[in-house]
Amino acid sequence: MTAKQHTIADIPPVGSQKTTDWADKLLLWSLCSLFFFIPTATTPAIIAGILSVSIWLFSGKFIKDRRLWLNQPWTAPVIVFMLLPWIGLLWTEDIAMGLDFARKSYYWLYAFAIASLCLSRHSATALLSAFLVSLSLVSVFSLLQFSGLVSMPEWAPTIFRRSITNSLLLVFGILVASFYFLKADKATSKVFLFSLMLLFFSTIFVGTGRIGHLAFALLSPLIIYNCLGQKHFVKIAIVAVLAIGILSLSPSVQHRFEQAINDIVLYYQGYPHTSVGLRLHMWEGAVKIFLENPIIGAGTGGYQMAMEEHRHPNLPPDLQFSQPHNSFLYMAANFGIVGLVSFVWLLAVFLKKGWQDRNNIAGFAILSYGLVLIIGSFTDTQILSWSTGKLFALTMGLRTKYNDA
């Protein structure tokens, strides 16, 4: 007999969770705040992140619970991934840029902090529910802005202000909601969760993030499988094609993909100063830098100076490229084979963890976010992006075995 699955609609107040001590309670609340603010507000999220790490350190949990975070299958690749940017400062020609990138490795402390949490199934649901509530706000603000009926203030988080990042987060939100839909046993819960998925889909529909459109198209079979709750591949394929077809009717989607094709044509005609053209230029440059330094790369932050030798003659001289807008090429150009292998190792451990525990919410969240991150990493350096990079660390630290399982 299996334990009952909990959904966002069934979650009790976080304050009712049984935690081992006050440090667990504070850590849970601070991490819930961090999950909530990641899609919506940078400064509050930074504060929540600092608070989480401070609680973990000064409460003594990092020592008391060291066996929890030191004995994870991902501990070794995470430590290597954290240290590599600092080691790469030894051979970079741009120390200032290198330090800027190296400092971003601190957010992997979130993985250790959340792994030290006395996590229950309700706690895991609380963390992901905070994230889904935040995404709902992004969606509502976005749709209000799109309608033109309400003028959104500058501080309001919408998909039109962080189109790449938020489009990927919305796809991840749909995936998480679809899992809850699969496990829900109440009709009211299913209606609520399906409405939530429609809200996120509508936001992607009107949004301009091409990579979010692509991620939804590629991952729609997994979403449809959860919605249908059966392994009927023909039905899944038909509904997935229908969902992709509906998305393709969006004027925004049509415009963005037509624009992408036009940018590619212009690039090969010698005009690279377009959204896609600049990415093609940065990717080609990253490959050349990697081939020139195949073992250890150009060093942390060394990509920008190395790109000067590969600058397209039709680009303005003051246009700088700090990173290649591709996570795999970023690791290869800056750290060579060593960096690329460390990143693939990290992703492999991450996906394996999610796949093995895909039948519970934490495992499925890890698996689905890994897939979203990989897709997004082909057009932007998601491991450096503020929201997606931190969420990578947070989901890495989620434990998939619960105290109340």
- Smallest CA-to-CA distance from 220 within 206, 200, 195, 192 is with 200
pLDDT in tens, 149-169: 878 787 788 888 888 899 999
- Looking from the CA of 45 toward its CB, the CA atoms found within 13 Å total 21
pLDDT in tens, 336-363: 999 999 999 999 999 999 999 999 999 9
Is 53 in a helix, a strand, or coil? helix
Question: If you average pLDDT over residues 200-209, what whole number do you get?
Answer: 95
Residues 186 and 243: their CA atoms lie apart, in Å, by 25
Let me know if residue 313 belongs to a domain. Answer: no
* 226-to-174, 178, 366, 395 alpha-carbon distances in Å: 11, 6, 16, 20
pLDDT in tens, 237-284: 999 999 999 999 999 999 999 999 999 999 999 999 999 999 999 999
- Stronger pLDDT, 10 or 388, i.e. the higher one: 388
Let me know if residue 210 belongs to a domain. Answer: yes
pLDDT in tens, 132-146: 999 999 999 999 999
pLDDT in tens, 16-75: 334 457 888 899 999 999 999 999 988 999 999 999 999 999 999 999 989 889 999 999
CB 37 within 8 A of CB 45: yes
Let me know if residue 261 belongs to a domain. Answer: no
- Stronger pLDDT, 15 or 20, i.e. the higher one: 20
pLDDT in tens, 72-129: 999 999 999 999 999 999 999 999 999 999 999 999 999 999 998 876 778 889 999 9
pLDDT over 90 (residue 307) = yes
Let me know if residue 225 belongs to a domain. Answer: yes
| Alpha-helical runs (H) found in 22-152 | 22-37, 42-58, 61-64, 66-70, 75-87, 95-102, 109-115, 121-147
Predicted confidence at residue 190, as pLDDT, reads: 97
Let me know if residue 307 belongs to a domain. Answer: no
Determine if residue 297 is left, alpha or beta; phi over 0 gives left, psi from -120 to 50 gives alpha, anything else beta: left
Domain enclosing residue 232, as ranges? 8-256+325-397
| Share in percent of the chain as helix, strand, coil (round to 5) | 70, 0, 30
Total tally of structural domains belonging to the chain: 1
Residues 107 and 185: their CA atoms lie apart, in Å, by 37
Let me know if residue 222 belongs to a domain. Answer: yes
pLDDT over 50 (residue 12) = no
Predicted confidence at residue 131, as pLDDT, reads: 97
Rg (CA), the chain: 21
Centroid of chain to Cα 404: 28
